[in-house]
C-alpha cells in the first residue's frame, strides 16, 4: 500500500471502530434494563442476562456495522476537507475514485463480515435467545424464592419465607402448603429451614426445624396436628417442557434455508414471507457498497464552512432507508407486493440518489449536493441566535 492508502486506513479506522463500539454499547444498555426487569419478574438467576445479551450481540452488530462504516469514511473525508488536505491531494492528481480505494477495502471486508452475521450467526443466536426466554418462563433455569412473597412450585405447592440470611443458606419464618393428587393436604410452619440436594434431579429436600405440621384428609374427622424438632419435606420440582425446534420464525432461518423455503414451502404465505426475509437481508448487505460514496458526498462541506450537517444527514438517511426496508419487508411478507419489487425498488432509488450526490461532489465544479440545506440551516441558526434572550443586550454593550 502507498503512503496515502496507509494514511487513509488510519483516518477511517478510529471513527469506524469507535462508532461501532459506542453503537453496540448503547443498544446493549437499552436492552439490558429490560432484560433485568424481565429476569427479575420471572424469578430467574441474574447470570442469564449476560447470556441473553451475548445472543443479541450479532443482531446489534448487524445494525452497527453499516453505521460505523459510513461515519468512519464520512468523518475521515470531513477532516481531510476542513484541514485543506483534500485540496492538496486533489491538486497533485488524486481523484475521488482513487481516494475511495481504501474505503472500499473496508466496505468489502465489513460487507462479507455482515453477510456472515445476518446470514448464519444471527439466526442461530436468535434461537438460543428465545430458548433462554422460554426456560425462564417455565422455571427450567431455577426460580428464586422471594422473601415475604408466596412462591408457587407447580399447581400443588406454595411456599413463603419471612427472612433469608447467608445468601439463602439460612431461612426462617417458613410456611409450606402442599396438596397431593389423592386429595390430602399438608400445611407446615417452621422456625428455620434449609434446602438440600438429592440424587433425584427432579426433587429437593427442604429440612425444617422446630415446626408444626397439619395434615388434612377427607378420611379424617379432624385434621391431624404434629409438632416436630426436625422434618424432611420432599419438594418435587416442576418438569420443564422441551423448547421447540429452530425455525419457528423467519429470523431463525439462515440464508440458504430461507432461499430453499422461498421455493419449496407448502403455503404461498410462507413462501412470500421467506422470500421477503431473504431479500431484506441481501439488500441490507448490498447497501454497504453505496455507503463510501454517500459518506464522501456528505463529508465534504462547502468551502469556508465547518458545518456538521452532513454527519446529521448521513445518519438520518441511513436510518430512514433501513426503516423503509423494514416496512417493505412487512408488505412483502403479507403477499401484497412481490418482495423483489418491494425491496429492490427502494434500493434502486437510494442507489440513484447516492450516485447523483457523489457525481455532484466529484465531477461538478463547486458542486455540493446539500448546499441548499446548508444555506437554509445557516439562515435558520442565525435567526434563532438573534432571538436568544440577552443576545441583543450583549450586542448593544
Instruction: Encode pLDDT of 297-344 as tens digits.
Output: 998 887 766 677 888 888 899 999 999 999 999 888 887 888 899 999
Return d(Cα 111, Cα 117) in angstroms, integer.
Answer: 10
Q: Which one, of 193, 189, 188, lies nearest residue 165 by Cα?
A: 193
First to last CA, the chain: 58
25: left (phi over 0), alpha (psi -120 to 50) or beta: alpha
Average pLDDT score over residue span 76-80: 91
Return d(Cα 159, Cα 170) in angstroms, integer.
Answer: 15
Q: Give the Å distances, CA to CA, from 56 to 26, 114, 184, 307.
A: 13, 15, 47, 36
Report which of residues 388 and 4 the model is more confident about.
4
Q: Which residue has the cell 475514485?
A: 97
In this structure, the number of other CB atoms found within 10 A of the CB of residue 320 comes to 11
Q: Give the Å distances, CA to CA, from 157 to 36, 166, 176, 202, 217.
A: 27, 25, 7, 15, 16
Instruction: Look at residue 326 in the predicted model and tell me its pLDDT.
Output: 92
Largest Cα–Cα distance of the chain, in whole Å?
106
- b/e per residue 43-66 (b: at least 16 CB within 10 A): bbeeebbeebbebbbbbbbbbbbb
- Per cent of the chain over pLDDT 70 is 83
Question: Tell me: the pLDDT tens digits for 131-155?
Answer: 888 777 665 555 556 677 777 766 6
| Pairing state between β 203-216 and 224-236 | antiparallel
Q: Give the Å distances, CA to CA, from 42 to 34, 129, 133, 142, 144.
A: 12, 15, 10, 10, 9
Query: Which SS3 state, helix, strand or coil, does residue 127 take?
Result: helix
In this structure, the number of other CB atoms found within 10 A of the CB of residue 205 comes to 15
Question: What does the DSSP 8-state code read for residue 121?
Answer: I
Band (122; pLDDT cuts 50, 70, 90): very high
**What does residue 163 show for φ and ψ, rounded to 5 degrees?**
-140, 150
What is the pTM for the complete model shown?
A: 0.73
Return d(Cα 43, Cα 169) in angstroms, integer.
Answer: 18
The residue count for the chain: 397
Amino acid at each position: 500500500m502507498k503512503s496515502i492508502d496507509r494514511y487513509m486506513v488510519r483516518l477511517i479506522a478510529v471513527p469506524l471502530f469507535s462508532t461501532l463500539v459506542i453503537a453496540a454499547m448503547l443498544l446493549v444498555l437499552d436492552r439490558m434494563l429490560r432484560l433485568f426487569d424481565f429476569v427479575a419478574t420471572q424469578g430467574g438467576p441474574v447470570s442469564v442476562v449476560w447470556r441473553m445479551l451475548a445472543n443479541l450481540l450479532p443482531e446489534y452488530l448487524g445494525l452497527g456495522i453499516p453505521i460505523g462504516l459510513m461515519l468512519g469514511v464520512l468523518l475521515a473525508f470531513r477532516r481531510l476537507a476542513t484541514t485543506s488536505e483534500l485540496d492538496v491531494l486533489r491538486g497533485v492528481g488524486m481523484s475521488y475514485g482513487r481516494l475511495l480505494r481504501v474505503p472500499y477495502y473496508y466496505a468489502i471486508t465489513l460487507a462479507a463480515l455482515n453477510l456472515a452475521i445476518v446470514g448464519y450467526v444471527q439466526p442461530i443466536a436468535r434461537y438460543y435467545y428465545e430458548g433462554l426466554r422460554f426456560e425462564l418462563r417455565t422455571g427450567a433455569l431455577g426460580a428464586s424464592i422471594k422473601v415475604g412473597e408466596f412462591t408457587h412450585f407447580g399447581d400443588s405447592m406454595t411456599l413463603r419465607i419471612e427472612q433469608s440470611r447467608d445468601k439463602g443458606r439460612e431461612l426462617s419464618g417458613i410456611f409450606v402448603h402442599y396438596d397431593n393428587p389423592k386429595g390430602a393436604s399438608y400445611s407446615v410452619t417452621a422456625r428455620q429451614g434449609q434446602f438440600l440436594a438429592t440424587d433425584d434431579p427432579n426433587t429437593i429436600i427442604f429440612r425444617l426445624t422446630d415446626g408444626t405440621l397439619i395434615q388434612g384428609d377427607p378420611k379424617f374427622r379432624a385434621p391431624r396436628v404434629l409438632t416436630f424438632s426436625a422434618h424432611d419435606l420432599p419438594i418435587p420440582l416442576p418438569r420443564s417442557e422441551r423448547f421447540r425446534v429452530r425455525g419457528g420464525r423467519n429470523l431463525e432461518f439462515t440464508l440458504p434455508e430461507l432461499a430453499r423455503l422461498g421455493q419449496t414451502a407448502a403455503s404461498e404465505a410462507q413462501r412470500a414471507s421467506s422470500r421477503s426475509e431473504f431479500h431484506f437481508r441481501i439488500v441490507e448487505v448490498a447497501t454497504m457498497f453505496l455507503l463510501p460514496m454517500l459518506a464522501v458526498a456528505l463529508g465534504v462541506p462547502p468551502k469556508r464552512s465547518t458545518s456538521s450537517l452532513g454527519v446529521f444527514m448521513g445518519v438520518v438517511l441511513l436510518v430512514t432507508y433501513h426503516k423503509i426496508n423494514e416496512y417493505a419487508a412487512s408488505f412483502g411478507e403479507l403477499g401484497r407486493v412481490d418482495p423483489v419489487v418491494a425491496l429492490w425498488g427502494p434500493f434502486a432509488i437510494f442507489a440513484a440518489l447516492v450516485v447523483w450526490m457523489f457525481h455532484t461532489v466529484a465531477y461538478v465544479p463547486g458542486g455540493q449536493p446539500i448546499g441548499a440545506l446548508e444555506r437554509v440551516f445557516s439562515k435558520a441558526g442565525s435567526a434563532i441566535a438573534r432571538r436568544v434572550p440577552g443576545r441583543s443586550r450583549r450586542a448593544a454593550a
